[in-house]
Structure 1
Amino acid sequence: MPRTLARRFLSVLLLAACSLAVAAPRPPELQPYGEREDVMRFADAAAQRLEADPQWVRGVLAQARLVPTVARLIMPPPPGTAKDWAAYRARFVEPRRIAAGLAFWRDNERWLNLAEERWGVPPAIVVGIVGVETLYGQHTGSFRVLDALATLSFDFPSGRRDRSEFFRSELEAFLRLARREGLDPLEPKGSYAGAIGLPQFMPSSILKYAVDFDADGRIDLLGSPADVIGSVAHYLAEFGWQRGAPTHFAVAAPVEVRDRALLLVPDILPSFDAAGFAERGATLDAAGAAWPGKLALIELQNGDAAPSYVAGTTNFYAITRYNWSSYYAMAVIELGEAVRRQR
């Protein structure tokens, strides 16, 4: 191509590129809620309950922003999406997370042992929870907590059960927490649901269950592994963790569909003793058959393959109070055990 023609061709390409750049829409800025009427009504009511300056609460919430991504992420999977325990497990019980868990355990062994002495929760369970929640602090969330909670409080998406009241209570708890700890409410970041720190505590859980385990005068769930470990162990203890008890036993589920269905009716709530399992055709291992407490038949679906089953104890149920999912609880247990074995 002649040099003059090449220059003209290049000029045309540059002009076209500039035109496209000018024409391409910029991503919209997140718009603050400002003085929206329903938000300000909530602000005034919350200020009264918090015994806070109404202008401070109004000013904070006026700066909260609606985040469409938050509303999208809170939606459940599409109908018909098959649950798959094997795939779920593979996301969490994998070499990178196990290696990070080993480092977390090694660096914080003193605090893990002290937490077990005080609350009876084994290190492997605490390590499993922190690993599943945030990969030991590598993924604590990038949304402003204020924005996430405001979005789910005032613009909860349609198409699923409305949980806006829950998130409004968490938004109020977040404001209470900010006042108590002297935080700028515009600063903390967390998950799309408003969970905070390595253990992903919601604001109300921080207020109720988080502890200053290193006794430095403040609770820090981002920078203090001691506070993280103590808070997780304290949370589980408050929800019924039994010192020295196992989390689950091996079990062969009943062959008869009706018997299996009867055992599954209470879901993850321990409701049957070992004799009740046997009466309905479930075969426990030796330790499970001798267990004096209540058990729940836990079904973990594997897509098109046959489900997996375990018999969950009260301690299994306590883990599900952290996240109401049997898949979550098993991932926590198995990640913690994988790290323990590597030690």
Structure 2
Amino acid sequence: MQAKPPRQHAAPAKAKHAKAAAPHAYGERADVMRFADQHAQELGYEPAALRHLLAQAQRHPRVQQLIMPPPVGTAKDWAAYRARFVEPRRLAAGLAFWQQHEAALARAEERYGVPAEIVAGIIGVETFYGQIMGGFRVIDALATLSFDFPPGRKDRSEFFREELRQFLLLCQREGLDPLAVKGSYAGALGYGQFMPGSWNRHAVDFDASGRIDLIASPEDAIGSVANFLANHGWQRGLPTHFEIALPVDTAARATLLAPDIKPSFTAAQLAEQGARLAEAGQAHAGLLAVIELQNGDAAPSYVAGSENFFTLTRYNWSSYYAMAVIELGRTLAAWRAAGQKP
């Protein structure tokens, strides 16, 4: 993901203090051992065995760095963000993935109502079609964020402690070695980068192998991504968004942008505020959200997001992410229709 930061060296006069301030190994942490004792029985471990397992987890400073938000003042740039994903190498990989797994993508679309291009778009954005699934030991990432969540942003250690519990439950059920499984810096796993809790709640055995494997089975990943979206409200046949032109009046713009990605306005209410929806959007019976995509120093882009756009953001809480998925998938579908080969 990002380059490693330069190694920091303590001054000789401070070496003793630095050594004293260094964190204990997790096996020496009372809070980690309490976690082990609290959850051992429900997870199918003897308390001593779970203590021993968690004692082998390591605090990972790089994880602490990567979980932090970008620096204040970092400009958002939709055009640059899009270009990271809708580019020749990823498109070629996406065409090959779609060609190889065409039957599974079609079956997922039929069963769950989620278009193949959306599933292909998510897997492409998340992991470059399985080429980049993360190099952190998941137990290290989750232990770090559970017990050493960095200051400077909203504390999410409780969330990650639950994900650590879900990960241990997953490993017990699927026969995985908790010390060997690798994923993202946040503990996400497999082709679709499911957090352990999402794996446990939404993953499916789509290849009928008798077990769920989102790391080694692209078919399981395809079905699981589609099932995740269906479980979060995906509506069969509903477009993700419509073109829209915003009113010039700044107060009206502020009103329309205030709900952010949450669909809040009917087509008639958008028109009352002076927004101009594309013809297809004018016929939309549900609610819409006005999505702003900033373009650095250039003028922002706007779309009217439907309930399905909002569902995409349940996968990743970002309108930029959702649009990248849509644009990658749409481009792949267009290339396939034109007979483009990988």
Structure 1-normalised TM-score? 0.90
TM-aligned CA distance change 1:263 to 1:102, over 3 Å: same
Instruction: Tell me the residue number matched to 1:205.
Output: 198
5 Å-filtered alignment, 1:90-129, equals 90-129=83-122
Aligned to 1:141: 134
- Alignment of 1:154 onto 2:131: no
* CA distance, structure 2, for counterparts of residue 253 and residue 292 of structure 1: 20
Deviation string 1:255-287 (CA, Å, 9 cap, x unpaired) is 111111111111101111100100111100000
Q: State the one-letter code of the partner of 1:251.
A: I
**Counterpart residue identity of residue 250, structure 2:** V
Q: 2:50: which partner in 1?
A: 57
Distance 1:137 1:279 in 2: 46
1:300 pairs with one of 293, 297, 302: 293
The alignment's TM-score, normalised by the length of structure 2, stands at 0.90
Q: Distance in 1 between matches of 2:104 and 2:146?
A: 36
Q: Secondary structure at the match of 2:304?
A: strand
2:16 is matched with which residue?
A: none
CA distance in 2, matches of 1:41, 1:293: 48
Which residue is equivalent to 1:329?
322
- The Cα offsets for residues 161-180 of structure 1, whole Å up to 9 and x where unpaired, read as 11111110100000111111
Indicate the residue corresponding to 1:309 in structure 2. 302
Asked if the contact 1:31–1:66 (Cα under 8 Å) also holds between the matched residues in 2, the reply is: no
What secondary structure, in the 3-state scheme, does the structure 2 residue paired with 1:310 have? strand
What are the superposed Cα offsets for residues 100-152 of structure 1, whole Å, 9 maximum, x if unpaired?
00000000000000000100000000000000000001100000000000001
Moved over 4 A (4+): none
- Matched letter for residue 226 of structure 2: A
Total equivalences in the alignment = 314
Corresponding residue of 1:27: none
Distance 2:246 2:125 in 1: 27
Structure 1 residues 216-231: aligned runs within 5 Å: 216-231=209-224
Q: Note closer, same or farther for the CA distance 1:222–1:51 as it changes in structure 2 (3 Å cut).
A: closer
Deviations 1:284-310 (A, max 9, x none): 000001111110000011111111000
Aligned pairs for 1:67-78 (under 5 A) are: 67-78=60-71
1:49, CA displacement in angstroms? 4.2
Q: Secondary structure at the match of 1:211?
A: coil
Kindly indicate whether residue 314 of structure 2 is the aligned counterpart of residue 318 of structure 1.
Answer: no
Quote the residue 1:282 is aligned against. Answer: 275
Contact in 2 for aligned 1:153/1:164 (Cα 8 Å) = yes
User: Is the contact between residue 31 and residue 65 of structure 1 (CA under 8 Å) also seen in structure 2?
Assistant: no
* CA distance in structure 2 between the partners assigned to 1:219 and 1:204 by the alignment: 14
Q: Which amino acid aligns with 1:179?
A: Q
Q: Which runs of 5+ in 2 are unaligned?
A: 1-22, 337-342
CA radius of gyration, larger in: 1
Using the aligned pairs only, state the percent identity.
68
**Which of 173, 176, 187 is matched with 1:194 structurally?**
187
Q: Distance in 2 between matches of 1:54 and 1:248?
A: 51
Partners in 2 of 1:325 and 1:87 — Cα distance? 15
Question: Where does structure 1 lack aligned partners over 5 or more consecutive residues?
Answer: 1-29
Letter in 2 for 1:160: R
Letter in 1 for 2:145: L
Which secondary structure does the structure 2 equivalent of 1:249 belong to? strand
- CA distance in structure 2 between the aligned counterparts of 1:124 and 1:78, rounded to whole angstroms: 33
- Counterparts of 2:170 and 2:49, CA distance in 1: 14
Q: Decide which of 11, 34, 43 is 1:41's aligned counterpart.
A: 34
Aligned partners of 1:241, 1:32: CA distance in 2, in Å?
Answer: 44
Shift of 1:65: 0.4
